[in-house]
Chain A
Amino acid sequence: MLYNEPSPLEVKVVTRRFGKPDSEKIDTYLADEGYEAFKKTLTLTPEAIIDELKASSLRGRGGAGFPTGLKWSFVPRNTGKPAYIICNSDESEPGTCKDRLLMENDPHQLIEGMLIAGWTVRSPAGYIFIRGEYRYLIDIVDRAVAEAYERGFLGKNILGSGWDHDIYTHTGAGAYECGEESALLESLEGKRGIPRLKPPFPAVVGAFQCPTILNNCETFSAIPAIFRQGAEWFASLGPPKNGGTRMMCVSGHVNKPGVYELPLGFPLMRLINEVCGGMRNGKKLKAVIPGGSSSPCLRAEECDIGLDFDSIAKAKSMAGSGGIVVLDEDTDIVGLALRTIKFYQHESCGWCIPCREGTTWLKKILERYHGGGGREKDIDLIHEIAKGMFGRTFCALGDAAAMPTYTFIEKFRDEFEAYLQKSRPKQIPELALL
């Protein structure tokens, strides 16, 4: 099922089969050159597969944008231990809603991507870690897995290659933190979802202490296309080092919010104005959050950039998971900052001090500030606490909470100050706060 009208400007690669009847069934998938890419890779050596991936300049779609081919090449072979394939579908970043579409509309594409990864490292098993709230998707993916077993794409001696591979689905328990790869592994192993010490990275010591390929759902889904149509074709879709297309999840104050597949490097302003039909009610653009709630926001005047990993990084933000939130001129930035930090405070796993205590403190200040009890020095205090958290936490969740917060202050300090003027209740004396 699709949730929005496709746009004519889209370049459909991973979403090419979306909207077709029974697109989640294996028969329709096979009719659309399904599992052809996998069959092709069965004839290739692991080195050739990884080289092809490197040539495609596919980068991880989860958030960090790490080159996938390079990641796979880190997986040690001949360790005597099995290697595992894990698909991260624990999509929890506010603003992001692409994995659910991929699993809902084209689960076989994902399975094929995982099979290619599995074949590359001769893995005995793969796991699809699905966000707990996506309960309905498990049935869809389980059905697809069962179909793949029936047709001999999974199980013993797959397509006569002598290679055995199983795929299991696994649900998270509703923790944002478990989207972090090592916390996901802990959760998968049945432990408390807290991140692990790195190094060693999951590629070397991952699930069950074995080498592991851990990629995002969209990353795996993009792989069949690379082997079907060639790495060069894939790389040419985007700017250099940013191969392929990306599912952009646009939400916020635009006329046509939705998920659109666009090549990397697609201009942000064109996305808002052409693909999404412009700002809602003709309001002016105030800011854009370009990569899920954890990425620093861009002011309207900074939005004249292309949507690829490097351009967004140059604008001192990050492409993240592709959750683009468009904010119009009426947006209450203090309220937004509070809502954002509430989320991270709720989702902080509690492992390390700066994230656990920092998010809680920020939330408390912003709640008071938003409720009208703000003091002038709070603005600097919020900024300082967020800056103090940044780069000092155990995993990236602390950074994810700190970055938007201090960016809001840096870019919209005037709004914070105005808030102080207009809503400060007279009856709360300074002393009562101290």
Chain B
Amino acid sequence: MADLVTFTIDGRQVQAAPRTLLITAAKQAGIEIPAFCYYDGFSLQAACRMCLVEIEKTPKLQVACTTPVTEGMVVRTDSPQVAAARKGMLELLLTNHPLDCPVCDKGGECELQDMVFRYGAGESRFVETKQHVDERQWSPVVFYDKPRCILCYRCVRVCDEGLGVGALGVGDRGSASEIIPNRGDHLECDECGACIDICPVGALTSGTYRYQTRPWEMDHVGTICTFCSNGCKTTLGVRNGEITRANNRDKSGVNGEFLCVKGRYGFDFNHHPERLTAPLVRVNGKLAPASWAQALATVGKKFAEVKQRGGKFGVIGSNHTTNEENYYLQNFARQALGTSNIDHRRTGDVATLIDALHGHAGALATTADLYTTPAALIIGSDLSQQHPFLAWQLRANFRHHQAKVFAITSGPIREDRYAAKTMRAAEGEELTAVESFREHLAQQKSLVILFGDSIKGDAVRKLVAFGDSLGIPVSYVPLVDYSNSRGASDMGVLPDLLPGYHGVREAGLEPGLAYDAILSATDLDALYVVQENPFAKTPLASTGAFVVVQDLFLTETAERADVVLPAASAYEKAGTVTNVCGEVQKLKAGAKTMGAKTDLEIMGLISKEMGVSIGIWKHDTVFAEVRKSVPGYNVALPVVETGGAAPTFPVNGRVPLEDRPDLISSDRNTLFLSGTLGRYSKMLTSVLEYPGKLYGQPVETELEMKEAQNT
């Protein structure tokens, strides 16, 4: 960046890095050059001709989106000629635009509206008839209205270049040109809806948001998606306490504007008609609605009684609840209930990696690192399906920086197409296969290794040893499944570890029962399950146990419970979550569901009923305690509070863990599956691709498997 280029724009001397495009350089100088087809990060089109500017010594107007700045260039963006060109271009665009702004979903946030308002003519001279083409539905989530389309080709590029799907193309020619889906009349794709968000006009509209409301009528709440572990920021459009849409047009958060189908459309589980809105208490063998006071009193009394007689508790935490709730839960279990029998569904071996990395500083990669790393190695994960945002980052990295991507998986994955080298290896045998990459990997400047659930226990240690032997800086991403899987591990929702990977023995406790042992124990007196559905796969062995379940829906586990407490979803509460790369981000409450309480409050109220004090159940108070007492979580508060992602630095020493690789398994979710929440999302289950494919193989849903077992 040493040699900046000096050029003149609108009479101002401005400097920019060489080869910067004029449109970007002008933006840096605070001068707006309007454009539709130019989109940062995607290929250049020069199709909309809105960015025409006057450059001295060139006879014609030039497009700013493809012209790099050169030394001594003299540019005018404010001349009458430029203004006339912009006005003319907009007039031409509007000749076939239906101007149905009052009903168009984009009205109020439409780039064409803004441009015409700023640069266009007040009246049109077009008096001929406009072409009309009926609106078409391409999938449950994507609708296309051809007359509104201005053919900027952003959708085509985001689908092809951004997602690597390439489901959209251009058909026909001339004024009949239109965007066409990959299956003729319908789409078969990731259904991520990126095309809809990136559309500057209302040509592509969203199945969930269509004709619901208008942008200025909603509250825009920036929070974190509650599905997978990638931790994408999503901005919920909330009206009357109900979520009407989710997108991230302001490009805030780690993911920029990326969201997958779950993030953009999966929110509808939140107001599913089957949401629990009142506590249920089992009376005469049947669950019946009860008041919160009754339900809490029942739970408090029973827990206090079991505790008093020294009975056996089991506590199962969640992959979806916040860090605060997880921290509070393990406190509740260890102090209020006095048990170490606490665990959660482990979907990746984070603890072993932290242990194996002792002495390695900064060996955990962040999501931003995936965009800048010169090389990455994917082991045992269909990244585009299971971790779509991480895949997006790697793809953008390849596109912009020609990153070398290596992959060892059990089947074909989307990354094969641009990867430098790929290899097929059965699950569990990846580490043998990786040796054949050694030569290539060692040539890279640095490397990020992303590994799935097949690398667990000893394999993690071997992988780290392999990484050390390459002689280059290597960082790791242990792939986990859900929005706060990583946080549950970090917060010590484990039988053998306290928050921050301290051994329980340090606190004078003995390790308790693990997940499988809790379920298979025959002598449990009480089981407390927070937003988890363990009985879907394994029934509880202790038939006489008193079961308390906090959840959004009446799941298989809740059906067996003695008391069911309606919990709030992640979109209804504040707090923090930690994503797959260990970055802490803040949740903001957007929606409301009558009758539901946050898990934090429920735990606080139960402890109050039991007459035990384990601290204030306010999320910021708990987070302050987390920052103080959990190693690595002393994150920069301003970053978190302003919606940023603060990387954590977990302990850099040995972790006194008990190796239990058998407990670690991913739920094998695809883009269209996400445990309980996904089942209750109508949009996710309605798309053609549901439940999707992993490694090119169709995936069975939990329900299908259950049905198959029953018949």
Contacts and interface: CB of A to CB of B under 8 A. Distances in A.
Indicate yes or no for A touching B, C-beta below 8 A.
Answer: yes
Interface of A: 175, 177, 192, 197, 345-354, 356-361, 364-365, 368, 381, 385, 388, 391-394, 433-434
Contact of A350 (B48, B52, B61, B175): B175
Nearest to A399: B60
A157 B579 CA distance: 63
Interface string B55-70: 0000111000010000
Contact of B49 (A350, A393, A434): A393
Contacts of A350: 151, 170, 172-177
A385 B87 CA distance: 11
Given A197-B66, A394-B47, A357 B128 contact: no
A197 B85 CA distance: 20
Task: Report which residue of B49, B84, B175 has the largest number of chain A beta carbons within 10 angstroms of its beta carbon.
Answer: B175
B69 to A, nearest CB: 15
Interface residues of B, number: 34
A361 B128 contact: yes
Given A381-B125, A388-B88, A356 B175 contact: yes
B89 interface: yes
Contacts of B687: none
A365 B49 contact: no
B361 interface: no
A345 B52 CA distance: 23
Nearest to A367: B128
Given A350-B174, A356-B174, A388-B88, 14 more contacts: A345-B174, A345-B175, A349-B177, A351-B177, A354-B49, A356-B151, A356-B177, A357-B93, A357-B95, A368-B128, A381-B125, A385-B88, A385-B92, A391-B59
B250 to A, nearest CB: 27
A353 B175 CA distance: 9
B126 interface: yes
Task: Report which residue of B50, B60, B95, B173 has the largest number of chain A beta carbons within 10 angstroms of its beta carbon.
Answer: B173
Contacts of B47: 351-353, 394
Contact of B46 (A197, A349, A357, A358): A197
8 contacts: A197-B46, A197-B66, A353-B151, A354-B92, A359-B175, A360-B175, A364-B128, A388-B85
Interface string B158-188: 0000000000011011111100000000000
Given A361-B128, A393-B49, A433-B127, A353 B93 contact: yes
Contact of B174 (A354, A360, A361): A360
Contact of A353 (B66, B89, B170): B89
A361 B126 contact: yes
A365 B129 CA distance: 10
Nearest to B129: A364
Contacts of A364: 128-129
Contacts of B96: 357, 360
A348 B96 CA distance: 16
B594 interface: no
Contact of B92 (A351, A357, A433): A357
A360 B95 contact: yes
Contacts of B95: 357, 360-361
Nearest to A175: B173
Nearest to B125: A381
Contacts of A356: 151, 174-175, 177
B174 A348 contact: yes
Interface string B82-101: 00110011001101100000
A365 to B, nearest CB: 7
Given A353-B92, A368-B128, A392-B52, A359 B46 contact: no
Nearest to A365: B128
A394 B46 contact: yes
A260 to B, nearest CB: 34
B44 interface: yes
B150 interface: yes
B150 A392 contact: no
B175 A392 contact: no
A392 B86 CA distance: 10
Contacts of B49: 352-354, 392-394
Task: Report which residue of A345, A347, A392 has the largest number of chain B beta carbons within 10 angstroms of its beta carbon.
Answer: A392
Contact of A347 (B48, B92, B125, B174): B174
A221 to B, nearest CB: 30
A132 to B, nearest CB: 14
A349 B173 contact: yes
A385 B125 CA distance: 10
A348 B175 contact: yes
Nearest to B152: A353
Nearest to B88: A388
A388 B52 CA distance: 12
A239 to B, nearest CB: 25
A393 B50 CA distance: 11
A391 B60 contact: yes
A434 B89 CA distance: 21
B173 A361 contact: no
Contacts of B172: 350
Contacts of A346: 174
A345 B175 CA distance: 8
Interface string B105-132: 0000000000000000000011111000
Contacts of B66: 197
A235 B701 CA distance: 78
B190 to A, nearest CB: 23
Contacts of A360: 95-96, 174-175
A368 B129 CA distance: 11
Contact of B61 (A352, A358, A365, A391): A391
Contacts of A352: 46-49
A354 B90 CA distance: 9
Given A352-B48, A388-B88, A192 B170 contact: yes
Given A197-B46, A356-B174, A361 B60 contact: no
A292 B151 CA distance: 30
A75 to B, nearest CB: 23
Given A354-B49, A388-B85, A392-B89, A197 B44 contact: yes
B123 to A, nearest CB: 10
Given A348-B174, A350-B176, A392 B85 contact: yes
Contacts of A365: 128
Nearest to B44: A197
Contacts of A175: 173
B98 to A, nearest CB: 14
Nearest to B63: A394
A318 to B, nearest CB: 15
Contacts of B89: 353-354, 392
Nearest to A368: B128
A82 to B, nearest CB: 23
A175 B177 CA distance: 14
A313 to B, nearest CB: 14
A165 B35 CA distance: 45
Contacts of B93: 353, 357
A353 to B, nearest CB: 5
Contacts of A353: 47-50, 89, 92-93, 150-151
A349 B45 CA distance: 14
Contacts of B126: 361
A148 B128 CA distance: 56
A345 B95 CA distance: 14
A391 B52 CA distance: 11
Nearest to A430: B127
Contacts of B173: 175, 177, 348-350
A228 B488 CA distance: 84
B305 to A, nearest CB: 74
Task: Report which residue of A192, A347, A364 has the largest number of chain B beta carbons within 10 angstroms of its beta carbon.
Answer: A364
B178 to A, nearest CB: 9
A241 B186 CA distance: 57
A177 B177 CA distance: 14
A172 to B, nearest CB: 13
A393 B60 CA distance: 10
Contacts of B129: 364
